[in-house]
Amino acid sequence: MKVILANPRGFCAGVNMAIESLELALESLGAPVYVYHEIVHNRHVVESFRNRGAIFVDCLTEVPAGSNLLFSAHGVSPDIRNLARERNLNAIDATCPLVTKVHLEAVKYAREGYTIFLIGHEGHDEVIGTMGEAPQAMVLVESAEDVDRLEFPADAKLAYLTQTTLSVDDANRIIRRLRERFPNLVNPPKEDICYATQNRQEAVRVLAGRAQACLVIGSQNSSNSQRLSELALESGIRSWLIDSVDEIDPQWLEGVESVLVTAGASAPEVLVESVIDWLVVRYNATVEVATIRQESVSFPLPKPLRSLQRK
């Protein structure tokens, strides 16, 4: 078997920042550190931190007054920030800066009187936080069919934003339909889908033609990981989204001579390495690292943690 190991893959700058933030908070402030929602959407990462004293909550009423609290990479609404202040929580904001960019755009468009179409997935943590910035001005759009059901006058002030972890192709299909229906639609000067999401999707799109199957390491609730697996399927090869090597069914790979391996932006490299090791041992696989694009992006830690940053 030949393994084509996609690069870039795995952790993005926002995930790296969020994980280092929680590590430093646990080291410097001590356990427990409460985290609003999962720090990132990866079961392995969440369980690892839970074992070290992080407590993940979906409601701030579960957090004792005065406790240390970390906001996850996906961002939160103003209501959550206000509630944290009311409960006198020591809140550390580990929101990805690219998500913060979308929040600021939502506030700007709402202030200027626009109705904002947010292209994204209902119930996703990032979407909930973004819509909370201007709930009266925002309409969630999940598909081209949703666009067809929209009813606005021709002179309405309309804008769109996108969830950062969407499929680029899916988002573009929805945007094209929005523009067909609403030619005066405006958008931010720079697109919202994050660089890492686009790069990982590009790698799958470029490399899928060289493989018969694809293994995507990532959790089921990771939107960007789901998109990678879907993209591989759309490229005409079999694909499976797995949390770890333990979920691989050897029957999937019967007769497979080449397999593409990649990982979502919240999946740690240690999980990728264990999958590669398993393929090498079981199938005497050779591994080719296929680099499609170089990444050098990094984000600063939240201000309260910068003095504690590892050198």
User: Is the pLDDT reported for residue 173 higher than 80?
Assistant: yes
The CA dihedral of 272, 273, 278, 279, to the nearest 10 degrees, is 70
Q: Confidence band (pLDDT; 50, 70, 90) for 90?
A: very high
pTM to 2 decimals? 0.91
Q: Which fold has domain 13-95+300-308?
A: Rossmann fold (3.40.50)
The one catalytic residue in 105, 126, 133, 230 is: 126
Give per-residue pLDDT as tens, 250-298: 999 999 999 999 999 999 999 999 999 999 999 999 999 999 999 999 9
Q: Which two tokens stand for residue 66?
A: 């005065």
* Residue ranges of the chain assigned to CATH 3.40.1010.20: 2-11+195-291, 98-181
Residue 196 confidence (pLDDT): 93
Spatial neighbors of 214 by CB under 8 A, at least 6 apart, are 204, 208, 229, 232, 237, 238, 239, 240, 259, 260, 261, 262
Q: What's the rounded mean pLDDT across residues 106-131?
A: 97
Spatial neighbors of 188 by CB under 8 A, at least 6 apart, are 105, 161
Residue 141 confidence (pLDDT): 98
CATH number of the structural domain 2-11+195-291:
3.40.1010.20
User: Is the pLDDT reported for residue 189 higher than 90?
Assistant: no
Q: Confidence band (pLDDT; 50, 70, 90) for 308?
A: confident
CA distance 95 to 255: 44
Residue 309 confidence (pLDDT): 65
User: Is the pLDDT reported for residue 145 higher than 70?
Assistant: yes
CA distance 177 to 49: 42
Ordered strands of the 138-141 beta sheet: 138-141, 115-119, 158-162
DSSP bridge partners of 115: 158
Q: Which fold has domain 98-181?
A: Cobalt-precorrin-4 Transmethylase; domain 1 (3.40.1010)
Q: Are 227 and 168 in contact (CB under 8 A)?
A: no
Q: What's the rounded mean pLDDT across residues 223-234?
A: 96
Q: What's the rounded mean pLDDT across residues 222-235?
A: 95
Residue 310 confidence (pLDDT): 60
Q: Are 225 and 266 in contact (CB under 8 A)?
A: yes
CB atoms within 10 A of CB 301: 19
Q: What's the rounded mean pLDDT across residues 113-120?
A: 98
- Rg over CA atoms, the chain: 21
Residue 306 confidence (pLDDT): 87
CA distance 183 to 216: 38
Residue 257 confidence (pLDDT): 97
User: Is the pLDDT reported for residue 82 higher than 80?
Assistant: yes
State the chain's mean pLDDT as an integer. 95
Q: Output phi, psi for 34, to 5 deg.
A: -85, 145
Spell out where the chain has E strands: 2-7, 33-36, 54-57, 68-71, 90-93, 115-119, 138-141, 158-162, 213-217, 238-242, 258-263, 286-291
Give per-residue pLDDT as tens, 9-62: 999 999 999 999 999 999 999 999 999 999 999 999 999 999 999 999 999 999
Who wins on pLDDT, 74 or 190? 74
Active site includes 126?
yes
* Residue ranges of the chain assigned to CATH 3.40.50.11270: 13-95+300-308
Ordered strands of the 33-36 beta sheet: 54-57, 33-36, 68-71, 90-93
Nearest to 195 by CA among 118, 298, 307: 298
